[in-house]
């Protein structure tokens, strides 16, 4: 014969508050509504802030891209100009290179 089941060892449990079938507490409902409102406001603010940052980054990227293109074109102009001068004055170019090398050697030696 099995022992009698006492109420403490019974398999039935009480339903926690907020479970289906229980009456919600008005204070909890008020806190939940307030929290939902706060979360919605924060989400809206964060969304607009992210959009402003994205717009700023796109503008900065466009500016930097334009400057890189300008510098690349400027570098090509300088290189072409230097090549042209070397072709026009080869001896002067070699003399200038020797003078610069001599001066650098003197500076680095001391």
Give tens-digit pLDDT for 4-48.
Answer: 555 444 444 444 554 555 667 888 888 888 888 888 888 888 888
Contact of 93 with 85, CB cutoff 8 Å: yes
Residue 75 has pLDDT above 70, yes or no: yes
- Share the mean pLDDT of the chain: 83
d(CA 44, CA 50): 10
Longest dimension (CA), the chain: 120
State the alpha helices, DSSP H only, in the chain.
26-88, 90-109
């Amino acid at each position: 014969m099995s022992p009698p089941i006492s109420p403490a060892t019974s398999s039935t449990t009480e339903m926690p508050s907020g479970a289906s079938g229980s009456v919600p507490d008005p204070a909890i409902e008020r806190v939940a509504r307030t929290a939902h409102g706060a979360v919605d406001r924060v989400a809206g603010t964060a969304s607009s802030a992210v959009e402003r940052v994205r717009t700023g980054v796109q503008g900065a990227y466009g500016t930097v891209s334009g400057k890189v293109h300008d510098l690349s074109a400027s570098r090509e102009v300088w290189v072409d100009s230097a090549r042209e001068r070397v072709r026009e004055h080869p001896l002067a170019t070699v003399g200038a290179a020797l003078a610069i090398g001599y001066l650098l050697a003197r500076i680095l030696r001391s």
